[in-house]
Chains A and B, each alone.
Chain A
Amino acid sequence: MSSDTLLRPADGPSAVGLRRRSLARSALPISAAAGVAIAVIGALTTDIDGVAGTMVVAVLASIVIYVTWSLIVEGRQRATDRFATTVIAAAAVLALVPLVSVLWTVIERGIAVLGLSFLTDSMRNVSARSAGGGLFHALLGTLEQVAIATLISVPIGILTAIYLVEYGRGRVAKVIGFVVDVMVGVPSIIAGLFIFTGLVLTLGLPRSGLAAAFALAILMLPVVTRTTDEMLRVVPNDLREASYALGIPKWRTITKVVLPAALPGIITGAMLAVARVTGETAPLLLTTFLTQSVNPNPLDGPQASIPTFVWDQITSGTPASLARAWGGALVLILFVTVFYATARLASWWFMGRRGMSVR
């Protein structure tokens, strides 16, 4: 084999040389400043007004300037790399903008209305146009409905997960597991429709807080099952085998050894499910009737809840109602995010880097 054929002529890639003309470090801030300048000028002179439009122009212009500059100085390969890095980083920022905006808006507008009376009054005798009133009736309703839903879904979910992890080996387990996963994706309104058609229409259950709780339970069930499943699998097998070796029967091993070991994670999973379901509006609209007064009885009669309260206030349309809607939104978001964030952080702490996947 001739070694000459392997040598590429001098204008091949290796003759490019190590050194590269490089973009100065200040190129990025300069491009950004130029982009903003262009956007501002554009806002003043053309018809692109509005915060969103100006920001979009600023970002796009900055990127175009930066990448073109790099293209001229550094060449195509490097410019493409910079373009990709910039776009990807911009996407990361973009993804956070709605979160910040939503939280900010809810806090800003909700705080105006939040007060002791907001939390302790109901909307009884308060007309849509007047200010005042509160969401106590909704708060009570949500607490009751979510509590009932939790009481129903958590035991069933845990039991199902136990079957999947500790007993299930064959096709039955596979089918159950698969169905549970698919169930996670059932739209909440379908759960409401089901309870309505199945229990209300067919079995005569009245539209009530209880019906709502059933619908919420359907939504919680697959989440609880899935997270409990993951937590049970994390329990090391050595623990089970040590228990069997002591002559303890399987069912006792599960209840006295495995479950307690997985308990923190199971609670975390239940909290995630609660957080998911507390803010659901659609199933409640279908299974309950709205009311402005307090109804502590979930079994009978119309019962409010925080999401339907917000919905009701939005559809009333008056400024006073809208303000109350923001107040309700603030209460809701406080509850949900605190639950969710705590559960997520706890799950990372228990399960290491991956945390629980609740999709």
Chain B
Amino acid sequence: MAKRIDTINLAAYYRDFLAVDGVTLSIEPRAVTAFIGPSGCGKSTVLRSLNRMHEVIPGARIEGKVLLDGEDIYAESVDPVNVRRTIGMVFQRPNPFPTMSVYDNVAAGIKLDGQRRRKSELDDIVEESLKGAHLWREVKDRLTRPGAGLSGGQQQRLCIARAIAIAPEVLLMDEPCSALDPISTLAIEDLIDSLKADFTIVIVTHNMQQAARVSDTTAFFNLAAPGEPGRLVETGPTRTIFTAPTEKATEDYISGRFG
């Protein structure tokens, strides 16, 4: 079910400002790909271009192609709303809907496609999604309580449950642990490991150790110089990138000489 994503010469603009340029990479299905690199090099921008969230910002646009199993997601007749149902996203700061209960948060995406479902069907999907997010046991007795009342780590898992409830092909995660404590972070990393059996996962992270722990493939982004657009410098199997990178910039970043 999980699909692959290929980008061909992807460039992302904020009005006239070119943020990132010439990104050509492949994201393998049923695997975790990590985007690493210093701040401001465009990792999140590229990530958001993969599910057409980039264009939500007024004036933002892309050039190049993004293919989901060969299908161009930016084609004329493609509905961005459908793209986002197929390619889900988890954000840096947990953002459950504050006016909704835990149950309603998870069910929020499902209810949007307009299909009438029986309550029992919805119940099943919610339960499965919460189990898949490793959150079920902690919330099963408080499904009707507000989603915002959980701890930070729980909220983020709730957001993950919400994202996987609509059965996307790909899951994008934009620094999902950066607002969390180390224990919650480890919980999420375990979760990612179990999720990759069913989903294609792309994770942007500032934390190199996390990238090394969690990902199968790593892509390193960098800025050539301040003011220049960000670029994809190198991509390859995680072990290779971290032990024997090809580019010098990659090696410098990995060994902490900058970034």
Q: Determine the interface band of chain A, counting residues with CB < 8 A from chain B.
A: 20 to 34
Contact B114 A76, beta carbon cutoff 8 Å: yes
Question: Which one of A8-16, A192-200, A235-243 is at the B interface?
Answer: A8-16
Contact A19 B75, beta carbon cutoff 8 Å: yes
A182 interface hit (Cβ, 8 Å): no
A16–B114 alpha-carbon span in the complex (Å):
12
Could you say which residues of chain B place their CB within 8 Å of the CB of A20? 77-79, 82
A7 to chain B, nearest CB (A): 6
A337 to chain B, nearest CB (A): 31
Could you say which residues of chain B place their CB within 8 Å of the CB of A8? 167
Could you say which residues of chain A place their CB within 8 Å of the CB of B167? 6-8, 12-14
B197 interface hit (Cβ, 8 Å): yes
A139–B93 alpha-carbon span in the complex (Å):
61
A13–B167 alpha-carbon span in the complex (Å):
7
Contact B132 A16, beta carbon cutoff 8 Å: no
A8–B77 alpha-carbon span in the complex (Å):
26
A147 to chain B, nearest CB (A): 47
- Given known pairs A6-B132, A6-B164, A13-B167, the reply for A18 and B82 (CB within 8 Å) is yes
Interface of A is mostly: loop
Number of A-B residue pairs, CB cutoff 8 Å, is 64
Contact B79 A78, beta carbon cutoff 8 Å: yes
Contact A18 B68, beta carbon cutoff 8 Å: yes
Could you say which residues of chain A place their CB within 8 Å of the CB of B81? 77-78
Could you say which residues of chain A place their CB within 8 Å of the CB of B110? 13
Contact A22 B198, beta carbon cutoff 8 Å: no
Q: Output the residue of B77, B112, B167 with the most chain A CB within 10 A.
A: B167
Could you say which residues of chain B place their CB within 8 Å of the CB of A13? 85, 110, 113, 115, 166-167
A130 interface hit (Cβ, 8 Å): no
A12–B128 alpha-carbon span in the complex (Å):
15
A1 interface hit (Cβ, 8 Å): yes
A75–B71 alpha-carbon span in the complex (Å):
22
Contact B128 A6, beta carbon cutoff 8 Å: yes
B168 interface hit (Cβ, 8 Å): yes
The residue of chain A having its C-beta at the shortest distance from the C-beta of B78 within the complex is A18
Contact A14 B113, beta carbon cutoff 8 Å: no
B86 interface hit (Cβ, 8 Å): yes
A17 interface hit (Cβ, 8 Å): yes
| 7 nearest A-B residue pairs (beta carbon) | A20-B79, A8-B167, A3-B197, A14-B167, A18-B78, A13-B113, A19-B77
A–B Cβ pairs within 8 angstroms, 7 of them: A3-B194, A5-B128, A14-B167, A16-B85, A18-B73, A22-B79, A77-B113
